Amino acid sequence: MTDNPLLLIADDQPDILDALRLLLKGEGFELVAVDSPAAVIRAVEEREFDTVLIDLNYTRDTTSGREGLDLLTVLQANDPALPVVVMTAWGSVESAVEAMRRGARDYIEKPWDNARLLTTLRTQVELGHALRRAARLESENLRLREDSRADGLPELIADSPAMQPVLRLIERVAPSDANVLITGEHGTGKEVIARRIHAASNRARRPLVAVNAGGLSEGVFESELFGHVRGAFTGATTDRVGYFELADGGTLLLDEIGTLPASQQAKLLRVLQSGELQRVGSSRTHEVDVRVIAATNVDINAEIDEGRFREDLLFRLNTVEIHLPPLRDRTEDIPRLAAFFLGTAAHHYRKRLTGFTPDALRELAAHPWPGNVRELEHTIERAVLMASGDVIQVDDLALRTPRGGAGRLEELTLAEAEEYLIRRALERHDGNVSRAAEALGLSRSALYRRIEQYGIDSGG
């Protein structure tokens, strides 16, 4: 289960709320408890919850459940990806069907069975995260399509000598159907390269589906990649098409492939070898025609030597390898990259900015950029927000990351210090999220949540 998921519970009976608090806090949930539909709506407007558990009945003298059903309709209209589980003491087939029709993910009757309630909530937390990831991926795909150049290819700034071999490989490989492995430090732009390959291929008119494969937990991996059928597990109320089928005829980008657990590697290998998959809970086989582009910031050969990555899976993924140099080895690209990010951020925040002072450009060129291009992008976005004049000054950049260690750590805010430590751990462990999480004393899922929170690109 995801580390410390945030759960909203709603019931108008104090003893019910007390019983739920006692059970769920002991199981690692963070809780917000309210006693009315109006309070539920206010709570979800203020915070993002992993799952919501609501009663259907809030008026003592009625058993209709109308209040809860109306609340469910509002919640689903505002956020279709928010998992909502309903419960009632007056369970019936009719009310269960109506709740499911309005978008409930599952149905619990009072008095509840503790084990079933916990299993249901854990499943919905995982599925909710997967749905939100899919929504963010689609939003990012749309943004990238809107930002594409007139020739239909994603913007790629690569004038430096270090990037010329990369450009030549893209030109040779893109028209083929060969699987590609893109390697390089976190933040070097692996997803941009993958989109460039797809856009220049014969599959460009078909979808490119990007998924953080290393971030999928064991419980949702098969469902996300291969799909599932209704009734395959608790919460599977409808059939679901997986990422492989969504990418049929196009390209599937598997990011963070180097951190994929061994059990998931075997499942992925079977599909890559056969070109066939089965949805979870189904015996029917589906053929898929997918070009796979994998990306990683870890040394996969070292992972193979340590027994953590399958060599036969690497052979399937690595028909051609494209290695991206770190930003510190392509400093010639920094002025154009910075100008591009400046234009994008200034347009987004509706600010009039014309460029950088010479000192600011020198500061950008001298910075080591452990987070590479993605760190540069976030730095420029922050500078745009902070700038008071019409050009970016050195102070606007706020490049606080210590160049020789943590000597200036005391100058950072708590959030900045946490972000800094996470970036350093990822850099120290070559982007391996599992080992970085262990070094930081976090669970793997907790580290992924913080990586997402701070906008750290742990793979691309």
- CA-CA distance, 185 to 460, in Å (whole number)? 8
CATH architecture of 158-325: 3-Layer(aba) Sandwich (3.40)
CB-facing half-sphere around the CA of 245: CA atoms within 13 A: 17
For the chain, what's the residue count? 460
Separation in Å, CA 422 to CA 241, 260, 287, 431, 436: 34, 20, 40, 10, 8
- CA-CA distance, 347 to 419, in Å (whole number)? 26
pLDDT band per the 50, 70, 90 thresholds, residue 408: very low
**6-127 and 328-453, same CATH topology:** no
Q: What are the counts of helices (DSSP H) followed by strands (DSSP E) for the chain?
A: 19, 14
> What pLDDT is stored for residue 2 in this prediction?
44
Q: What is the mean pLDDT of the chain?
A: 84
* Nearest CA-CA partner of 423 in 457, 396, 392: 457
Query: At CA 457, angle to CA 451 and CA 460, rounded to 5?
Result: 145
Alpha-helical regions (H) of 213-333: 221-226, 243-246, 262-274, 300-305, 311-317
What is the third-level CATH fold of 328-453? Answer: Helicase, Ruva Protein; domain 3 (1.10.8)
Other C-beta atoms closer than 10 Å to the C-beta of 397 total 21
- CA-CA distance, 281 to 229, in Å (whole number)? 6
Q: What's the whole-model pTM score?
A: 0.59
Return the CATH number of the domain spanning residue range 6-127. 3.40.50.2300
Tokens for 458?
């742990």
Reported as a single tens digit per residue, the pLDDT across 26-85 is: 888 999 999 889 999 999 988 889 999 998 887 654 555 677 888 888 888 788 778 899
> What pLDDT is stored for residue 219 in this prediction?
74
* Nearest CA-CA partner of 368 in 187, 208, 220: 187
Reported as a single tens digit per residue, the pLDDT across 210-269 is: 998 888 877 788 888 998 888 888 877 778 888 999 999 999 999 999 988 888 999 999
> Domain limits of the chain?
6-127, 158-325, 328-453
Tokens for 431?
């982007």
Whether cis (ω within 30° of 0) applies to the bond prior to 111 is yes
* Nearest CA-CA partner of 326 in 259, 372, 385: 372
Tokens 């469902």: give the residue: 223
Q: Confirm if 276 and 285 have CB atoms less than 8 A apart.
A: yes
